Amino acid sequence: MIFSQEGNALIAKRQGETLRIEPWGTDSLRVRATMFPAFTGNDWALTEQVTSLQPTVQIGTQALRTGEGGTWEAPFASIENGRLKATVNHSGVLAFFRDGKQILKEYNRFYDGSVTRESHCLKVPSREWLPYTAGDYKLTVRFESTDGEKIFGMGQYQQPYLDMKGCVLELAQRNSQVSVPFMVSSLGYGFLWNNPAVGKVSFGKNLTEWVAGACKEMDYWITAEDKPRELLYQYTAVTGRAPMMREDCMGLWQCKLRYRTQEEVLSVAREYHRRNIPIDVIVIDFFHWTVQGDWKFDGKYWPDPKAMVDELHSMGIKVMVSVWPSVDRRSENFNEMMERGLLMRTERGAAQTYDFQGDCVQIDPTNPETRAYVWDKCKRHYYDYGIDFFWLDNSEPDLTKYDFDNFRYYLGPALECSNIYPQYYSRAYFEPMSRTDKQPVNLLRSGWAGSQKYGNVLWSGDVPSSWEALRDQVAAGLSIGMAGIPWWNTDIGGFMEGNVNDPDFRQLLVRWYEWAVFTPVMRLHGDREPFTIPPLDNRERGGGYLHTGQPTEMWALGDEIFTIMKAGYDLRKSLKPYLKRIYQEAHENGSPLMRPMFYEFPEDAACWDLADQYMFGPDYLVAPILKPDTLERAVYLPAGQWEEIHTGEIFPGGRTVKAAAPLAYIPVFKRKA
């Protein structure tokens, strides 16, 4: 191993690999390695300007035993930035220390001629580069596992586990799965896998293993602090923080699959207005267009979008419209976009990448020309009419088959960069919208590290209407918040398989709604069964032929449910000053709105094991009802005094209590000063 110092970076070279470690923010280091002659220069998620820091770099030797019982002076180096120190031994094996205590170490089982703990005949290296012919490398990076460690964050996965220790996670974007590869460890460090390649991470009991399917370099960032709150602060300092959420988006968003005409939209808005329920946003969902990729209203059913928007604005309602990144071959834009190279490319076979309701190819938002082209269409056909926001659906992108090795972008092979697709897609809208006097708030089904800075409200995708899905969404919302993305929501009641005539679904919908009052964005949506509403026409294209689901509005299922929903709506309205406060926290320091219990109570060991209750900001403890026919549940109250907000009863903390949960509300406790 040959060590040197280059500016404020420690450089280590061995057997064709160049390793670079440098300060990147307070108490943080960025670690890169490559088998190529030079680094790419890609910063990926590390977009924010950081102060240039002068670390302590030491290059020398350490005494190691030899096979004959003697010692030899092996090359050894370290770099220290504040509380975080990294060491590199003669084999290139890395270890990290916070305040002198080891928190992370690479896993190495490769014999190298010396007698050290890392010298084993298994021949498993800490960093394994598997070359592709004349191309990139498949990279595997291994770390030792620490017993008792808990791991949080990593984005959104459809599972009930909040602690990711023991989980194997695909690093890939899919409908309802959002890969944001930042983890928070209970040992006091945060770790960003700064690589948008499709791959996998295994948080095993015996080792941790990060895999990139194709890449040109290893790139990760690590920070060390005492508390999860401080780790999120450091992480969002280098990847960006969410803007301040608009006040006029903190209430209720009304949405369904799907309002088929402008008159349907207006009739729903007028009824809310008549009932004196001022909703914030109404959403016009998919296939209001002619074909995918035309990015405009079907004039037959939307004859005067400007007049529609003006009337909605007069009622104080903002308007969001759904756009997809898929372009049908029948679209008026397809041929031009294909010829100009603005669409995804396939490496083999047909050009098709998507086949829902048409033979389609997805746009390539990693190409700046594509972003400009799509925005121009959407500006002329939506934004200039006064449409306020965009629902950037299918933003993974959704694919007919997730054969990542068959797709290529302007940025490179999909296997190498596919996970950053939703971030670039959101920028196609956020960046030009930011140049106006309007604060962009766009809804997306996917994101990646740093997406929070682009005005993205993520939602949990097309999840089923089931109690299991409700349970999974609680874990998903907490996990994505711990991955740095605070703006998040779900389809209240789930998206699919919810039959409005089923008593179990009605109960599920009520419990989901009561929980959604205490989520960052509250949005009614769903593809409600039974599918008995006939299409408007039999054309093969346009906004009339596709089915729509049953109504989702607050009054749709009768007076009993409406009364419960109206009470939840009133509670949400009363929380608006508090919502502004916790949105401001997210903007200023990266704190999520939905917080695992340990985020507010890191010294309470019990809080690190709780996944079915959480803090909504610093003051409200929320205990969702996640099983049918449940009228009470156990709630753990940390030390202090707690007031149940519905009954006014005061409970001393430091214990578990049985909390009432009638159908009218879920248990919510407010921390007393």
Active-site residue, selected from the candidate residues 294, 359, 388, 393 = 393
- Of the candidates 226, 204, 229, 81, the one whose C-alpha atom is nearest the C-alpha of residue 145 is 204
Known active-site residue 462: yes
Active-site residue, selected from the candidate residues 136, 280, 398, 462 = 462
C-alpha dihedral (547, 550, 554, 558), degrees to nearest 10 = 160
| Backbone region of residue 117 per phi and psi (left: phi > 0; alpha: psi in -120 to 50; beta: other values) | alpha
3-state secondary structure (DSSP) of residue 359: coil
Task: Record the tokens describing residue 625, joined without a space.
Answer: 């009802």
* Beta bridge pairs of residue 329: none
Do 374 and 427 form a contact (C-beta atoms < 8 A)? no
For 76, the enclosing helix (H) or strand (E) is strand 71-81
User: What are the CA-CA distances from residue 160 to residues 170, 179, 263, 518 (Å)?
Assistant: 16, 16, 41, 19
Rounded-to-integer distance, Cα 663 and Cα 642, Å: 22
Rounded-to-integer distance, Cα 130 and Cα 624, Å: 46
Known active-site residue 310: no
* Beta bridge pairs of residue 210: 141, 201
Rounded-to-integer distance, Cα 448 and Cα 97, Å: 28
Do 78 and 57 form a contact (C-beta atoms < 8 A)? yes
Q: Is 662 exposed, middle or buried (0-12, 13-18, 19+ CB in 10 A)?
A: exposed
Q: Is 401 exposed, middle or buried (0-12, 13-18, 19+ CB in 10 A)?
A: exposed
Do 64 and 18 form a contact (C-beta atoms < 8 A)? no
Rounded-to-integer distance, Cα 614 and Cα 497, Å: 27
DSSP, res 111: -
Rounded-to-integer distance, Cα 346 and Cα 338, Å: 12
Rounded-to-integer distance, Cα 471 and Cα 2, Å: 52
DSSP, res 164: -
Rounded-to-integer distance, Cα 393 and Cα 175, Å: 10
* Beta bridge pairs of residue 71: 65
Active-site residue, selected from the candidate residues 364, 396, 491, 600 = 396
Known active-site residue 170: no
3-state secondary structure (DSSP) of residue 479: helix
The secondary structure of 317-335 as a DSSP string is -EEEEEE-SEEETTSTTHH
Catalytic residue IDs: 393, 396, 462
